[in-house]
A and B are shown apart, each in its own frame.
Chain A
């Protein structure tokens, strides 16, 4: 057995946290992962492809999940949060609260509970584009492959149809929250990010103008395991859009919303243009941008999309997104920042390139640390033995999350006292 001071706590089971956890565990530490959602993998599980290689995130996750399955030094808790931390580097006492899943390890993912469940819920995994049942599997490649019951809508023991349907005794509607205490030597904070709330950006029409969607919704539409089985269809009538407008910096680089750049949105929109162009060789896309930010070797991906004759890049900040009267089309108005000319274009579908908000903006960690005005963790304020990784420190992409996650693992190991 590894003593407690060889243990590391990783808060967050997304790409940053998973990487830190796995790299540390494969270097001799014991690791406890605490993840707020019912599955591991974080935001990348909702992406169709990664830029710039256009490969599916589940491929790397499959390797990572296999690393977890085969490694006895990793423990993880889903639907869990850290509520208390005391002590210091080398000897932290941590309290973890685990919400009831109402489904135990007997679950075989047979789907019987979902079949009989009478209650529907908004499918948060698909960013509200469809509904699923109160008893549900978050998505087909979920790890752990285990159903979960949403107690905010479940009718409870009054219904219990799922209990009856489950022949594996996997459902326990009386399951209680659990409190777990662990002692660890180091802590990695990798709480990740949330999508900026588009309804706060009045002029961009999200929620009021039909067929204005977020970039994450676009990922779900393009995913084979998404609400439309991988077809990009506009919400109002289920038709394939022939023209799509992408609004960059929707919230980001804007003093009224997010003063920083969200790092990923330029590359994400360029990538989403390739989804559209692959689906429909006739479809046209326009990207409204301030600067195209495709740093480093991402540049060539930008060139590939830019050189597509069905893609138009318009240098200008979007002023207004409105409904075309009497139709389901969307009007985008912008000012060309070079010429000062007004630009007005009509689209079948408009995608807002929404930025990222650190999870710590809404939910502070139970540690005495400082945050920027925008909610990012300030690394210099972290006590010894505590490290911040990934998008709660600054906006970044998957590659950089992996880079930071790997580096954080060596910092954690150093806190445990080296070899």
Chain B
């Protein structure tokens, strides 16, 4: 589009009283060379909006630089259809945080104006990515309760689903149950398993294709355009798939590792899965001699919550044992003993626990099992201490059930078998104890492979009711991904974003940094080793742009050149310190705004540039800044490491790694690498920020002024 830029400075919110507005207009006109430069008392007021609309209509302005408040506020007011809006934050970043009518404050505001002008000139209005037409069929891997539910949710919305199950029958572990734990108020009695009606529904639904005895051989492509090879008993078939739900489920923890709890001691020491098989026969008969079990003991956390075995709670075992105690009462008229450490019946499941506690034939106690031994009569002794029945107790049971937990399928097998450069499965599963879980509490379906959404016990330990909820959630994310991909726009966490990375491939040197660093594995390499962008996998974090030493990867509204131009637009005085801050726009920038809202003051010698993620931070900006005479560069990004907070997983961590590599470059320039540093901040760290800035400036002052100033 042919740009006509207008610069509009607002005088409201103390901007007019604290700054020389004429001076700002002069900077925009003379230095920024902006053809239309005007001021207004309150730009966000109805009169102000009308004024801007008239400017668009009468002056033909289609690119507006709004020098007023933070871009995080008054968003809709300054969003004009077909126009590009660049916000210069004079309120939170300048007048609310610095001394009014001070020359340093004015210099700060003028720099932000220069930077805004530079960006407005270089940025373009985004247009959605125009890729190949996509296929909207969803592949569901796993035919247990989660997979069956997910396929049905998708089909009920009118989409097609292919349900792939490795066993010969659908159903998974849910189909092995005699009863399932209650899902509904008043949570008093176990229910018929829900899986059988789900299987019937799945089989009857015209939109669902079921493939049993089948596994995913390979998954090639990207969201909307996957070619998935399915191996059915050795026969390979390629199907076109748009998105994938990973519902591959779990296996029980290997009970042979539970010798300390008596497994292997006698056939009458069994797992909770074996208990379901026994109950399914109508009477619980001891495996050893076929006698009806009359005294059944349960040991909770058999393998779970044990650093030697599984470091997590398997979530369903407490309710399962209570349910199985109910089997003992109903089917065998026997007695049940449950030895647990913490009975976990969260929420309204407590009501079921209460009901079982009230049954005189069910004995519950806390306790630590110290030994399981065989009695002379073939029964089993369970020795426990610290119980509510006494310090040291011995129970005799004719059947012992170990409440074994679960292991997600992804521990054994990548399942998806992606032909991605970065590997076959979902990355980083060790952070989640092997589960294909999301890193984000507030976004449960984030994986680092766009278009692939995990649900059920492969994602977290959960019970059947939760699996069904989870299946619905993953199903929604899968169809949402398809619709966004079809429109050529990003998915979470930048679901509004129409920009995409557009590499200038002629200048690519195939160094492969982008393919290695992309947190989402969006870039593969062709036969010659040249990076190949699969845009439908891309989440628009810009990590590739930050990684690229050739600076050839750009977005319409963010590029190495745009930020470089903003840095070059800064006025660097011949004497005195000048600093640059580059910050994450989702967390550090709102924290800077909050500093303003709280009217905390900080050193006026630093200017901030927000970028979509610190992953997009390109080292050349440090060279740009230092060669301009800027004395130091401060990066504010999200916490990294095990509990990382970066919504693009790796952004701040990668930026920090890049800084580590800076030393060599700066040594060559005879500059100190301490002039650049990254500080981890969270969005609520407003109270820390003035000190972080102050400390950084003190550190740079100690190093001294940038010797390049003189040039």
B-binding residues in A (CB < 8 A): 15, 23, 26-28, 48, 50, 53-64, 66-67, 69-71, 106, 108-110, 140-141, 145, 167-169, 223-225, 229-230, 253, 259-263, 291-300, 303, 315, 337-338, 372, 376, 378-380, 394-396, 398-400, 402-411, 413-414, 418-419
- Contact partner of B348 (CB less than 8 A), chosen from A376, A398, A407, A408, is A376
The docked-state distance in angstroms from the alpha carbon of A398 to that of B46 is 39
Answer whether A410 and B315 are a contact pair too, CB < 8 Å, given A59-B645, A260-B347, A398-B442.
no
What 1/0 mask marks residues of chain B from 446 to 488 whose CB sits below 8 Å from any chain A CB?
A: 0000000000000011100010011111111101100110000
Count of CB-CB pairs between chains A and B under 8 Å: 234
The verdict on B683 contacting chain A, using a C-beta distance below 8 Å, is: yes
Contact status B475-A297, CB under 8 Å: no
Contact status B476-A414, CB under 8 Å: no
What chain A residues lie within 8 Å of B564 (beta carbons)?
A: none
Query: From residue A149, how far is it (CB to closest CB) to chain B in Å?
Result: 19
Q: Which residue of the partner chain A has the closest CB to B476?
A: A410
What chain B residues lie within 8 Å of A140 (beta carbons)?
A: 594, 597-598, 686
The docked-state distance in angstroms from the alpha carbon of A259 to that of B153 is 34
A-binding residues in B (CB < 8 A): 12-14, 42, 44-46, 69, 73-76, 153, 156-159, 184-186, 305, 307, 311-315, 342-351, 354, 366, 386-388, 432-433, 435, 437, 440-445, 460-462, 466, 469-477, 479-480, 483-484, 492-493, 495-496, 586-587, 590, 594, 597-598, 638-639, 643, 645, 647, 682-687
Answer whether A410 and B472 are a contact pair too, CB < 8 Å, given A297-B432, A402-B444.
yes
Interface centre among A15, A62, A145, A294 (most CB of B within 10 A): A62
The docked-state distance in angstroms from the alpha carbon of A320 to that of B236 is 69
The docked-state distance in angstroms from the alpha carbon of A403 to that of B438 is 11
The docked-state distance in angstroms from the alpha carbon of A297 to that of B495 is 29
The docked-state distance in angstroms from the alpha carbon of A273 to that of B393 is 34
What chain A residues lie within 8 Å of B158 (beta carbons)?
A: 418-419
Contact status A296-B476, CB under 8 Å: no
- Contact partner of B345 (CB less than 8 A), chosen from A26, A108, A109, A261, is A261
What chain B residues lie within 8 Å of A106 (beta carbons)?
A: 44-46
Q: Which residue of the partner chain A has the closest CB to B432?
A: A297
Contact status B442-A410, CB under 8 Å: no
Query: From residue B137, how far is it (CB to closest CB) to chain A in Å?
Result: 13
The docked-state distance in angstroms from the alpha carbon of A261 to that of B351 is 9
Q: Which residue of the partner chain B has the closest CB to A262?
A: B347
The docked-state distance in angstroms from the alpha carbon of A63 to that of B442 is 10
Answer whether A26 and B441 are a contact pair too, CB < 8 Å, given A404-B473, A410-B157.
no
Contact status B346-A338, CB under 8 Å: no
- Contact partner of A407 (CB less than 8 A), chosen from B45, B435, B476, B684, is B476
Query: From residue B586, how far is it (CB to closest CB) to chain A in Å?
Result: 6
Query: From residue A371, how far is it (CB to closest CB) to chain B in Å?
Result: 9
Q: Which residue of the partner chain B has the closest CB to A58?
A: B683
Query: From residue A316, how far is it (CB to closest CB) to chain B in Å?
Result: 11
Q: Which residue of the partner chain A has the closest CB to B480?
A: A27
Interface CB pairs A-B, < 8 A, 23: A23-B476, A23-B480, A56-B682, A58-B684, A59-B638, A63-B647, A67-B496, A70-B496, A108-B12, A140-B686, A259-B351, A260-B348, A260-B350, A260-B351, A291-B344, A296-B312, A296-B315, A378-B184, A398-B441, A402-B441, A407-B472, A418-B157, A418-B158
Query: From residue A108, how far is it (CB to closest CB) to chain B in Å?
Result: 5
- Contact partner of A57 (CB less than 8 A), chosen from B185, B442, B461, is B442
What chain B residues lie within 8 Å of A380 (beta carbons)?
A: 184
Q: Which 3 A-B pairs have the closest CB atoms?
A: A60-B442, A407-B472, A418-B158
The docked-state distance in angstroms from the alpha carbon of A42 to that of B315 is 27
The docked-state distance in angstroms from the alpha carbon of A400 to that of B75 is 31
Contact status A69-B76, CB under 8 Å: yes
What chain A residues lie within 8 Å of B348 (beta carbons)?
A: 260-261, 372, 376, 394-395
What chain A residues lie within 8 Å of B493 (beta carbons)?
A: 63
Query: From residue A304, how far is it (CB to closest CB) to chain B in Å?
Result: 11
Interface centre among B433, B437, B496, B638 (most CB of A within 10 A): B496
What chain A residues lie within 8 Å of B440 (beta carbons)?
A: 60
The docked-state distance in angstroms from the alpha carbon of A411 to that of B157 is 9
A224-B686, A299-B313, A378-B185 known, 12 other contacts, Cβ within 8 Å? A55-B643, A59-B684, A108-B12, A109-B597, A141-B590, A169-B45, A259-B350, A296-B313, A297-B460, A303-B307, A410-B472, A413-B157
